[in-house]
Amino acid sequence: MLPKRAIMATNSSSISVSRLAEVTSRPNNVVGTHFVHPPQGELVVPQFSIMMPLVEVAKTEYVDEETFALTLALLERMGKDPEVVRDTPAFVADRFISRAGLEGGYSLGEADIKEIDAAIVYGMGMLFGIFQLLDWICLDVALDVCNYLEGALGEEYGAPEPLKLMVEQGCLGQKTGDGFYKKKVYLI
């Protein structure tokens, strides 16, 4: 049991913070704090993730002003850049990242993985390629997010076939050591 003043914060950008708040006895203490960075693992050293300043802070209709103000103050003390966003599927940053991932998956017939990632890194100035990111977050998680976003936002967010195929064949990225960058399957 948490103390009554405890703030319950979620790092998710895909699960509705309002829905999470509704199943607690204290929805006024629930806030979304999505740290926008690649997940840590073998491929991403903790220092890289810690350096990323953006934290999307989702304010629900339930959260009280004291909880929200304390959350923002804590993030600022941590050296983060909290940006208030609506409690929408994928918030802002992941909505853009999701579109890039979908387009990357749909483009696999026109370019290979390394060409697509190079275009994103060198052409768009992102710190990492979309297929690198997919491998980091794990492909089954990415597929679950696509399925959720498709239900919430429409069929244009449906998972590309290469992602579905990778998951079906057990190639899940860093979770299995086998993803888009180290694959056993032939995609195209």
Residues 55, 72: contact at Cβ < 8 Å? no
Percent of the chain whose predicted confidence (pLDDT) is above 70:
89
pLDDT attached to residue 183: 63
Q: Which CATH architecture has domain 93-168?
A: Orthogonal Bundle (1.10)
CB under 8 A, 24+ apart: contacts of 24-31: 27/60, 27/62, 27/63, 28/62, 28/63, 28/64, 28/67, 29/5, 29/63, 29/64, 29/67, 30/60, 30/62, 30/63, 31/7, 31/57, 31/58, 31/59, 31/60, 31/63, 31/67, 31/68, 31/71
Same fold, 8-85 and 93-168: no
Provide mean pLDDT across the span 97-123: 89
- pTM value is 0.80
77: pLDDT strictly greater than 90: yes
Task: Give 21's pLDDT tier (boundaries 50, 70, 90).
Answer: very high
pLDDT digits (tens, 9 = 90+) for 126-173: 878 899 889 988 899 999 999 999 999 999 999 999 999 999 999 999
pLDDT attached to residue 142: 92
CATH 3.40.50.720 fits 8-85, yes or no: yes
Residue 59 burial (CB count, 10 A): 19
Joined together, the tokens standing for residue 180 give 């888009």
The total number of residues shown for the chain amounts to 188
8: pLDDT strictly greater than 60: yes
CA distance 139 to 128: 16
Active site residue ranges: 34
Query: Alpha carbon of 172 to those of 9, 53, 59, 88, 177: distances in Å?
Result: 27, 28, 32, 27, 7
109: pLDDT strictly greater than 90: no
Joined together, the tokens standing for residue 76 give 């600022």
Summary mean pLDDT of the chain: 86
Closest listed residue to residue 38, CA positions, set 82, 94, 100:
94
pLDDT attached to residue 33: 94
pLDDT attached to residue 38: 58
Provide mean pLDDT across the span 17-21: 95
pLDDT digits (tens, 9 = 90+) for 37-56: 655 555 454 555 556 788 99
Task: Give 15's pLDDT tier (boundaries 50, 70, 90).
Answer: confident
pLDDT attached to residue 167: 96
76: pLDDT strictly greater than 80: yes
For the chain, which residues make up each domain, given as ranges?
Answer: 8-85, 93-168
Residues 52, 35: contact at Cβ < 8 Å? yes
